[in-house]
Amino acid sequence: MSNDYKKIKYFIYARKSQEGEEKQVQSIPDQLREDEATAKRYGIKAVDVLTEEGSAKEPNKRPIFDKMLDRIKKGEANGIICWNLNRLSRNPVDSGKLQWMLQQGLIQSILTPTREYKPSDNAIIFSVESGSANQFILDMKVGVRRGLNSKIAKGQAPILAPLGYLNTKHEVRGENYIIKDPERYELVKRAWKLMLTGDYTIPKLLKIVNDDWGLITRKGKHRGGGPVNKSTMYGIFTNIFYTGLYLYKGQIENGKHEPMITTDEFDKMQLILGKYGKPRAKTHAFAYTGDMLCGECSSAITACTKTKLVKTKNELRDYTFYYCSHRKKGTENCTQKSYIPLEDVEDMIKEELEKYTISEKFRNWALKILEEEHADEAKEREIIYKTQLNSLEVSQKELDSLITMRVRELIDDDQYTSRKKELTDKIAVMKQKVSETQSRALGWLQYTEQVFNFAHTAKTKFEDPETTLEEKKGIFTALGWNYIVKDKKLFISQCDWLERIEKKRDAVESEIGRLELENNQSPQRQNTPFGVLCPILRDRPDLNRQPPA
């Protein structure tokens, strides 16, 4: 039997994972002792001894292993000695390679201290044993993931604690958490406070931390135990962990560890650091986007908010700017590249509102005349309404008679169908007219009242600090349509009624003042020129009118 082994050229292969989840597995020196003992037992002189550190969970991640298989294909060897089959593979891809090479005879023997795998063996045995190694990894992944999810749900960050904190090691497995490092916590917190003043640079603070305070990083297995370096300092000031949150697999989670700073202080630090910072994403609402267009390239006007540190007050402040988005095709040459501050945009809207702003007396007197005119119109509408109802009633009776005639067979189907369609269409039209008569005058009155109320209160409402963004947007869009921005100026196609108010406002206000001074009288249509001076009260708006294209 020993002669058979001597005919086979063997590689000795040993592997140890780097991730640390295989601490129960023997180290490489231990594996080699077992492998060499196996070779000696069978009188084998190995062609080469190959070792590597790396996980076998994924294929094509171990260059020594892959190179070994290539050398076997070239005929340098045709056998492998290893401590256990799971040293060769823990994934189905590499297991498949080994099994295929066994079946082809490229590998004549895989030898372990306890058994041998040969081409003539039942393939099921190799598949089961290599599959068990793969299943071990899958089970471990599930268990680890379950444990991590449990820790996250409890607010226990499953990460290595940054400088100023410590990972506990005395709790039950899976229940360890992060606590303050009694030696370093206060010093790191003090470093945050100094840097947040905006008076220190990283190099300047490093000198203080290392030379004056003597802060030493935590000693680990392979590193640490020395002074704080530049990258470590930047790592501290860009790590959201110090706010009580932490980043895990791209998601920000809530932790139960004691925060060192607030989230606002963290954001402030990112601004202080400039390009090294990574501010958290924020969302902003913009009142006037979606309506305004660039007057040169017709692209939408968009907005952005920039947060700046006001050093004189040591506080963060948001500044909003509106600008051409240049999103339409062929807008590369658009010259509108200015950023317009929000304050300037609102000043332009206030100027537009000022054109239509009327006094309370103007509004009240106008509504008084509107009510009187509405009363007159109501009488006319009543006469029209009765006439329309009478016509509708006649048509309905005729339709009822038509049905009776058809039942008595006084008319045939063709006559019935033709006349029924005529009457049905006529009744539908008459019903529509009756409905319009009922609503038209009331709709006109309500619309007109809204216009005068808007002209009286819009500017005051817009300037009120308590007015919401949605309300401001509503006031803005009520001014008209076709909102154009060009050369930092706002142009609006006016609503017809507001345009009439703008043209006649000064004359009406002047007449109101004259009447109050001379006669102290109300603006009755019979004895004042108020109605003549205010033709907007005489017009009837087309309530279905659409803005011009």
pLDDT score at 483: 93
Residue 301 reports pLDDT greater than 90: yes
Residue 466 reports pLDDT greater than 50: yes
Q: Is residue 341 within 8 Å of residue 361, measured between CB atoms?
A: no
pLDDT score at 56: 76
Better pLDDT: 510 or 127: 510
Kind and range of the H or E run holding 354: helix 342-356
* Contact partners, residue 15, CB within 8 Å, separation at least 6: 28, 31, 51, 52, 53, 54, 56, 62, 65, 87, 88
Query: What percent of the chain has a predicted confidence (pLDDT) above 90?
Result: 25
- Buried b / exposed e across 487-496, counting CB within 10 Å, b at 16+? eeebebebbe
Lowest mean pLDDT among 163-167, 361-365, 377-381, 535-539: 535-539
Lowest mean pLDDT among 339-343, 401-405, 485-489: 401-405
Q: What is the signed CA dihedral for 136, 142, 143, 148, rounded to 10 degrees?
A: 140
Q: Is residue 179 within 8 Å of residue 168, measured between CB atoms?
A: yes
Q: What is the pTM of this model?
A: 0.42
Lowest mean pLDDT among 399-413, 441-455, 531-545: 531-545
* The residue count for the chain: 549
Distances (CA, A) of 75 to 17, 70, 197: 28, 9, 69
pLDDT confidence band for 496 (50 / 70 / 90): confident
Pairing type for strands 480-486 and 489-494 reads: antiparallel
Q: From CA 540, how far away is CA 497, in angstroms rounded?
A: 10
Better pLDDT: 366 or 171: 366
Residue 23 reports pLDDT greater than 50: no
Lowest mean pLDDT among 160-164, 217-221, 250-254, 480-484: 250-254
- Buried b / exposed e across 393-425, counting CB within 10 Å, b at 16+? eebeeebeebeeebeeeeeeeeebeebeeebee
pLDDT score at 2: 47
Kind and range of the H or E run holding 500: helix 496-518
DSSP 510-523: HHHHHHHHHT----
* Contact partners, residue 490, CB within 8 Å, separation at least 6: 292, 345, 348, 349, 352, 483, 484
Nearest to 4, CA basis, from 44, 63, 48: 44
Between the ranges 46-60, 252-266, 338-352, 462-476, where is the mean pLDDT highest?
Answer: 338-352
DSSP 85-108: GGGT-SSHHHHHHHHHHHHHTS--
In degrees and rounded to multiples of 5, residue 249 shows phi and psi of: 55, 45
Residue 49 reports pLDDT greater than 90: yes
pLDDT score at 526: 41
- Report the pLDDT averaged over residues 4-33: 76
Between the ranges 137-151, 315-329, 443-457, where is the mean pLDDT highest?
Answer: 315-329
Better pLDDT: 521 or 266: 266
pLDDT confidence band for 543 (50 / 70 / 90): very low
Q: Is residue 452 within 8 Å of residue 435, measured between CB atoms?
A: no
Query: What percent of the chain has a predicted confidence (pLDDT) above 70?
Result: 74
Nearest to 202, CA basis, from 213, 191, 211: 191
Residue 12 has which token pair?
A: 């000795």
pLDDT score at 368: 76
* Contact partners, residue 17, CB within 8 Å, separation at least 6: 25, 53, 54, 55, 56
Q: What is the signed CA dihedral for 257, 276, 234, 314, rounded to 10 degrees?
A: -70
Number of neighbouring beta carbons within 10 Å of residue 328: 14
Average pLDDT over the chain reads 78
- Report the pLDDT averaged over residues 511-527: 60
Better pLDDT: 505 or 335: 335
Residue 181 reports pLDDT greater than 70: yes
Q: Which domains does the chain have, with CATH numbers?
A: 2-149 (3.40.50.1390), 165-276 (3.90.1750.20)
Q: From CA 417, how far away is CA 406, in angstroms rounded?
A: 10
pLDDT score at 399: 73
The tens digit of pLDDT for each residue in 72-86 reads 999 999 999 998 888
Q: From CA 208, how far away is CA 511, in angstroms rounded?
A: 77
pLDDT score at 525: 44
Q: From CA 287, how far away is CA 470, in angstroms rounded?
A: 7
Q: From CA 159, how far away is CA 239, in angstroms rounded?
A: 12
- Buried b / exposed e across 111-124, counting CB within 10 Å, b at 16+? bbeeeebbeeeeee
pLDDT confidence band for 372 (50 / 70 / 90): low
- Report the pLDDT averaged over residues 461-479: 89
Q: From CA 545, how far away is CA 542, in angstroms rounded?
A: 5
The tens digit of pLDDT for each residue in 207-220 reads 999 999 999 998 87
Please report how many Cα atoms fall inside a 13 Å half-sphere around the Cα of residue 176, on the Cβ side.
11
pLDDT confidence band for 71 (50 / 70 / 90): very high
Q: Is the dihedral of CA 160, 165, 169, 174 positive or negative?
A: negative
The tens digit of pLDDT for each residue in 375-412 reads 555 566 666 667 767 777 777 777 777 777 766 777 77
**Helix extents (H) in 408-466:** 413-463
Distances (CA, A) of 462 to 57, 293, 491, 514: 64, 22, 18, 30
